[in-house]
Amino acid sequence: MQRIINDPDNVVDDAIKGYLRASPSLFVATDHPRVLKYPDSPSDKVGIVTGGGSGHEPAFLGYIGEGMCDAVAIGEIFSSPTADAFLEAFRAAPHEQGVACLYGNYAGDNMNVKMAKQMAEMEDIEVKTVIARDDVASAPATQRDKRRGVAGEVMMWKIGGAAAARGDSLDEVIRLAQKAVDACSSIGVGLSSCTIPANGKPNFSIEPGHMELGIGHHGEPGIEVAPLTSAEAIATAMCDPVLADQDFAGSEVAVLISGLGATPVMELNILYAHIAERLEDADIRVHRTDIGNYFTSLEMMGATLTLMKLDDELKPLLDAPARSLAITQC
Amino acid sequence: MQVLDATQGRDILEELVEVIVDNRQYLSDVDGAIGDGDHGINMAKGFRLCGESVAGQSLSLSKALGTLATTLMGSIGGSMGPLYGSLFMGMAKSVKDKNVLDAKDFGDMLADGREALEQISDAKVGDKCLLDTLVPAIERYRDAVEGGDDFPHALQALRNGAQDGRDSTLDLEAKIGRAARLGERSRGHLDAGAVSCCLLLTRLADSTERRLEKAAA
């Protein structure tokens, strides 16, 4: 294992130290070692909290900042933060107008958020949740409640964060964040495995010369293992299930291509060229495209594609100003 | 009638810590086949922290289990923090005012732990999770006690139920947690939570049995 670490059991805490030193204008420590908050959130807006396991950087902490989330609960690698951490994040975010907790559909996160929400009620902090379920490979559209959340979460944070920043009520922030993630269909493709440092060996395996379509952010095996051929073939394999998931034809969309950690950004652009052609052929207009490492899985090779169907309500929120580690726009 | 001295909880807790820490790699390997391979890491981290925090202290069984519960809930997160945290908290509450446990009290303690766990999770037997170990173990134990078996024989029933329950997960299709996304492909592998639960229940039974023997001698 070729890694820049100290004690493999302490990688998360060691990384937090670096983030705090590197970006003091975005991150400030709280009473909980696994909770960071944005220092300049106005107290009279709805608080936006997120959280999840580590190893997905810049998610989740890279999405706190101006016009984005206000506090983040940080878990072990690929493992939900504790209920204590989510509770402290609710306290650390603005909470007089309530807190919107926007996170992804994983069993551990669901349980810990549920427990934290109950504890927050004891302190008169109102918490409502939106649970991202955008991964089309994890369950059919008829069982959307079983789908896991992947890079569509980025869109959910952006929309929810922008709505809260302009002064929307908790119910309105929740409605819009839900609408945002419902408008997203995502899929991942994995070309190689990843290694949790404390585990020391690859989490799963993908045979050389193969790719796994529909792979999860923690290496949850996908829907199909296929020979690895060309970027064009990968683009087709990814577009087919995404385009079949919602009626995108004739709509405007936002496209998010995220690397899974080890794929060069150049290759993400090679992939996108084919995806863009495919969207054009399907009569889908691209309003904006973001390509980079937005939601990763340690050093996994591969990429995710997220397509978000836009309307007049979502578009201005997506384009609203933001300043965070992962997304900054004016 | 044979009873377990419930005033020496730390010793029992330290045995539970030991079995999890010793099996750190094994549990992660089991998890790696169909999960994300961190079960052993996170469990060992939580149990080790708990062991360190109680070192040298004199604790009742209730206090020891309560400390384990709060440490797991506060330190390891994931699914296992809340699941095992609730289980051990329910057990701790069950034996709160007890200095000794007879065979029935011991069974009630396990049942109360199960009830607490089921309050935070919708998981059921057959989902391929730790309940597949816990539930048959508790049921076999209860049946043994109700059928007139003595404490050591009931503990043997607990171990047998736990091991059979663990093994039952081999052929199950996961319905919950990350492995659920695998569907059919989750068959043929044990569930890591069911394995760790079996290790814990087996060690709890061993530890209790040894104490009963010592008291009898």
CA distance B74 to chain A (A): 6
Alpha helices in chain B (DSSP H): 9-22, 24-34, 39-54, 61-75, 80-94, 103-120, 131-146, 151-168, 192-216
Backbone angles phi, psi at A132, to 5 degrees: -70, 135
Could you tell me which chain A residue has the CA closest to the CA of B25?
A199
Q: What is the DSSP string of A225-279?
A: EEE---HHHHHHHHHHHHHHHS--TT-EEEEEEEE-BSS-HHHHHHHHHHHHHHH
Q: Please answer whether residues A19 and A74 qualify as being in contact, where contact means their C-beta atoms are separated by less than 8 angstroms.
A: no
Q: Which residues of chain A have pLDDT under 50?
A: none
Q: Please answer whether residues A287 and A254 qualify as being in contact, where contact means their C-beta atoms are separated by less than 8 angstroms.
A: yes
Q: Which positions in chain B touch A203 (Cβ < 8 Å)?
A: 32, 36-37
Query: What integer pLDDT is reported at residue B32 of this predicted model?
Result: 81
Backbone angles phi, psi at A309, to 5 degrees: -80, 125
Instruction: Specify the length of chain A in residues.
Output: 330
CA distance A264 to A231: 13
CA distance A149 to B178: 12
Q: Which positions in chain B touch A82 (Cβ < 8 Å)?
A: 73-77, 81
What separation in angstroms does the CA of A285 have from each of A72, A249, A329?
Answer: 34, 9, 21
Nearest to A203 among B37, B73, B120 (CB): B37
Q: Which positions in chain A touch B82 (Cβ < 8 Å)?
A: 83, 108, 111-112, 115
State pTM to two decimals.
0.87
Query: What integer pLDDT is reported at residue B78 of this predicted model?
Result: 85
CA distance A142 to B197: 34
Mean pLDDT of all residues in B47-63: 95
Contacts of B207 (CB under 8 A, 6+ apart): B11, B12, B15, B16
* pLDDT per position as a tens digit, B98-147: 999 999 999 999 999 999 999 888 889 999 999 999 999 999 999 999 99
Query: What integer pLDDT is reported at residue B76 of this predicted model?
Result: 83
Average pLDDT, chain B: 93
CA distance B81 to chain A (A): 7
Query: What integer pLDDT is reported at residue A141 of this predicted model?
Result: 87
Mutation target among A199, A201, A212 for the B interface, most CBs of B within 10 A: A199
Query: Contact B78/A108, CB-based, under 8 Å?
Result: yes
Nearest to A111 among B79, B180, B185 (CB): B79
CA distance A120 to A125: 5
Query: Contact B36/A220, CB-based, under 8 Å?
Result: yes
Query: Contact A115/B79, CB-based, under 8 Å?
Result: no
Q: What percent of chain B has pLDDT over 70?
A: 99
Nearest to A78 among B38, B73, B182 (CB): B38
Please determine, for the modelled complex, whether the ipTM score is greater than 0.90: no
Query: What integer pLDDT is reported at residue B185 of this predicted model?
Result: 79
pLDDT greater at residue B34 or residue A42: A42
**Is the predicted pLDDT of residue B148 greater than 90, yes or no?**
yes
For chain B, the residues whose C-beta falls within 8 A of a C-beta of chain A are 28, 32, 36-38, 41-42, 45, 73-83, 120-121, 176-178, 180-182, 185
Question: How many beta-carbon pairs under 8 angstroms link A with B?
Answer: 95
Query: Contact A9/B80, CB-based, under 8 Å?
Result: no
**Is the predicted pLDDT of residue B182 greater than 80, yes or no?**
no
Nearest to B81 among A82, A114, A199 (CB): A82
The sheet carrying A322-324 orders its strands as A65-66, A322-324, A328-329
Query: What integer pLDDT is reported at residue B181 of this predicted model?
Result: 63
Instruction: Specify the length of chain B in residues.
Output: 217
Question: Cα angle at A221 between A268 and A132, to 5 degrees?
Answer: 70
Q: Which positions in chain B touch A139 (Cβ < 8 Å)?
A: 181
Cβ neighbours of B172 (radius 10 Å): 21
**Is the predicted pLDDT of residue B180 greater than 80, yes or no?**
no
* pLDDT per position as a tens digit, B65-107: 999 999 999 888 888 999 999 999 999 999 999 999 999 999 9
Could you tell me which chain A residue has the CA closest to the CA of B78?
A80
Nearest to A138 among B82, B121, B181 (CB): B181
Query: Contact B36/A203, CB-based, under 8 Å?
Result: yes
Among the listed residues A3, A85, A53, A109, the one whose alpha carbon sits nearest the alpha carbon of residue A297: A53
Helix (H, G, I), strand (E, B) or coil at A145: helix
Cβ neighbours of A289 (radius 10 Å): 15
CA distance B34 to B23: 18
Query: Contact A115/B83, CB-based, under 8 Å?
Result: no
Query: What integer pLDDT is reported at residue B176 of this predicted model?
Result: 78
Alpha helices in chain A (DSSP H): 11-22, 83-92, 107-122, 152-165, 170-182, 231-245, 265-281, 314-319
Helix (H, G, I), strand (E, B) or coil at A195: strand
Query: Contact A83/B38, CB-based, under 8 Å?
Result: no
Residues of A with a known catalytic role: 56, 218
CA distance A98 to A101: 10
Contacts of B142 (CB under 8 A, 6+ apart): B107, B111
CA distance A253 to B141: 59
Could you tell me which chain B residue has the CA closest to the CA of A84?
B74
The distance in angstroms from the start CA to the end CA of chain B is 14
